[in-house]
């Protein structure tokens, strides 16, 4: 199990396994948040701190909720707006301990050319 | 003397923004990947020009989260709505200085340098302040 947390520690997430890879997307939101997404399902990852510690940002086609800490602003995770037990729970691996993700490959994803932009 | 150019930036939802002015061409900008815990968590890549000028602004009242930690001498500008870290400011001697997160530049200039990892952990507070006075961008109007 790996525990991820934002800078100030108000948001904590538990995941069952080390990610096999993390995704670096260049779309307008991901490039600003600089997130490295580690993909899980809602069975495999969970918010263990209070839901009051985070805010969701929803834009564009309004399919995804991007969560960040209300105190330090760190982007922590995203989820589908429509949640099911096996729907995606993506964790920002920058919130995981450095040694927990050492050696994990970073996969670039060209979200920008898929029209995912507000620019 | 080369005329300075304006490089605008904003968070994703546009509630926060900045105007960074510098005469340096983007291929000559320093791009720093500070290794402090905050910058690593936000993936911050910052730049500055002590001969340039900088204005940061809040377009939507209440959107600005000035996050402080550690020595509490720096305001990290984070959007409460979308979570973007756009830059940081510090006051010293009645003046303000700032940096911008190049990830918030719009558009992203071509030919930016590879980020250089920076570690300032051993600095005393006075050293930190004087380094920033020399390297950070003066806030316009101060």
Report whether B140 contacts B54 (CB < 8 A): yes
Contacts A91 to B, Cβ<8 Å: none
Q: Which of A113, A106, A116 is nearest to A36 (CA)?
A: A106
pLDDT tens digits, residue range A24-81? Answer: 999 999 999 999 999 999 999 999 999 999 999 999 989 999 999 999 999 999 999 9
- Residue B80 β-bridge partners: none
Q: Closest Cα to residue A5, out of A64, A50, A39?
A: A50
Q: Does the N-terminal peptide bond of residue B107 adopt cis geometry, omega within 30 degrees of 0? A: yes
Task: Please give the pLDDT value at position A119.
Answer: 74
DSSP state of B127: H
**In the prediction, which pLDDT does B49 show?**
98
Q: What pLDDT is attached to residue A34?
A: 98
- Residue A115's pLDDT band (cuts 50, 70, 90): confident
Helix, strand, or coil (residue B48):
coil
With CA atoms as reference, the chain A residue closest to B78 would be A73
Q: Rounded to whole angstroms, how far apart are CA atoms A109 and B138?
A: 36
Report d(CA B99, CA B80) in Å as an integer.
19
- Give the burial string for A83-97 (b: 16+ CB within 10 Å, else e): eeeeebbbbbbbbbe
Could you give the CA distance from residue A23 to residue A94 in angstroms, rounded to a whole number?
11
Separation CA B18–CA A109 (nearest Å): 28
**Rounded CA separation B83/B23 (Å):** 30
pLDDT at residue number B141 = 82
Here the tokens at position B115 are 């980020």
Contact B67 A72 (CB under 8 A): yes
Give the nearest chain A residue to B107 (CA atoms): A119
pTM of structure: 0.96
* Residue-level pLDDT at B3: 87
Q: Is A99 on the interface with B (CB under 8 A)?
A: no
Q: How far is CA A88 from CA A20, A42, A53, B20, B47, in A?
A: 16, 6, 20, 38, 35
Helix, strand, or coil (residue B63): coil
CA distance B17 to chain A (A): 12
CA pair distance B39, B59, nearest whole angstrom = 24
Q: pLDDT tens across A80-91, in order?
A: 999 999 999 999
Q: How far apart are CA B87 and CA B16, in angstroms?
A: 10
Which residues of chain B are within 8 Å of residue A73 when distances are taken between CB atoms? 42, 65, 67, 76, 78-80, 83-85
Q: Is A51 helix (H, G, I), strand (E, B) or coil?
A: helix
Nearest CA in chain B to A95: B41
Question: What is the full per-residue pLDDT of chain B (142 aa) written as tens digits?
Answer: 578 999 999 999 999 999 999 999 999 999 999 999 999 999 999 999 999 999 999 999 999 999 999 999 999 999 999 999 999 999 999 999 999 999 999 999 999 999 999 999 999 999 999 999 999 999 998 6
Residue B3: half-sphere exposure toward Cβ, Cα within 13 Å: 2
B70 Cβ contact list (under 8 Å, min separation 6): none
């Amino acid at each position: 199990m790996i525990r991820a947390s934002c800078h100030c520690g108000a948001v904590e997430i538990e995941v069952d396994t080390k990610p096999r890879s993390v995704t670096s997307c260049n779309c307008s939101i991901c490039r600003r948040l600089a997130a490295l997404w580690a993909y899980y399902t809602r069975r495999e990852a969970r918010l263990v701190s209070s839901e009051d510690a985070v805010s969701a940002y929803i834009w564009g086609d309004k399919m995804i909720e991007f969560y960040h800490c209300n105190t330090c602003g760190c982007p922590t995770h995203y989820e589908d707006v429509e949640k099911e037990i096996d729907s995606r729970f993506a964790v920002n691996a920058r919130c995981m301990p450095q040694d927990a993700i050492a050696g994990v490959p970073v996969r670039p994803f060209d979200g920008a050319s898929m029209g995912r932009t507000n620019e | 003397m080369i005329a300075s150019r304006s490089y605008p930036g904003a968070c994703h939802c546009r509630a926060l923004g900045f105007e960074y002015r510098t005469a340096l061409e983007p291929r000559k900008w320093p791009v720093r990947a500070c290794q402090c815990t905050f910058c690593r968590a936000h993936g911050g890549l910052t730049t500055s020009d002590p001969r340039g000028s900088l204005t940061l602004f809040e377009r939507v009242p209440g959107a600005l989260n000035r996050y402080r930690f550690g020595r509490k001498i720096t305001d990290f500008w984070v959007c409460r709505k979308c979570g973007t870290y756009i830059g940081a400011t510090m006051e010293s001697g009645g003046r303000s200085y700032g940096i911008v997160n190049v990830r918030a530049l719009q558009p992203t200039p071509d030919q930016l340098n590879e980020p250089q990892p920076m570690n300032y952990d051993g600095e005393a507070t006075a050293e930190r302040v004087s380094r920033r006075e020399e390297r950070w961008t003066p806030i316009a109007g101060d």
